Amino acid sequence: MADPLRVLFCMGINQNFFDLPKAQIGTVWTAFAGMLRDMEDMDGVTVLGNMDDDAHVVGPSDGWPWTCYVLADVRDQETVKAACNLFRTTMVDEEHALWRYAKIEARMGRALTIRDDV
């Protein structure tokens, strides 16, 4: 990938997840894990790492600090958009997509490099 975007995908779990009976949360986690696999398998996405902060963020996360993060090199903005769209297309059950229970925001930039002329 020539000059990929460095992208931090910030993900938060919302109140709908916490409103579920405990016996039903497994379906959300199964869908979430599938979404992460699908993101990692996308053409134009190279996942560099991830971080989960659910030990220090307990309860809904609608912004910073987020529940979890994925750092990736991504080919272009269209591919970033497609990765975010996984929250709309990953089904949790027959009626609800993942975005009912979680949200995603992407921060785009470039890899930090120190120029030779400084």
**Token reading at 46:** 């190279």
Q: Please report the DSSP string for 39-69 in residue order.
A: HHHSTTEEEEEEEE-TTT--S--SSSSPSEE
What is the reported pLDDT for 33?
96
Task: For tokens 């979404």, name the residue.
Answer: 35
Indicate the pTM of the whole model: 0.91
What is the reported pLDDT for 111?
87
What is the reported pLDDT for 42?
98
pLDDT in tens, the chain (118 residues): 678 999 999 999 999 999 999 999 999 999 999 999 999 999 999 999 999 877 777 788 888 888 999 999 999 999 999 999 999 999 999 999 999 999 999 999 998 888 888 7
What is the reported pLDDT for 1?
60
Helices of type H across the chain = 15-19, 25-41, 77-89
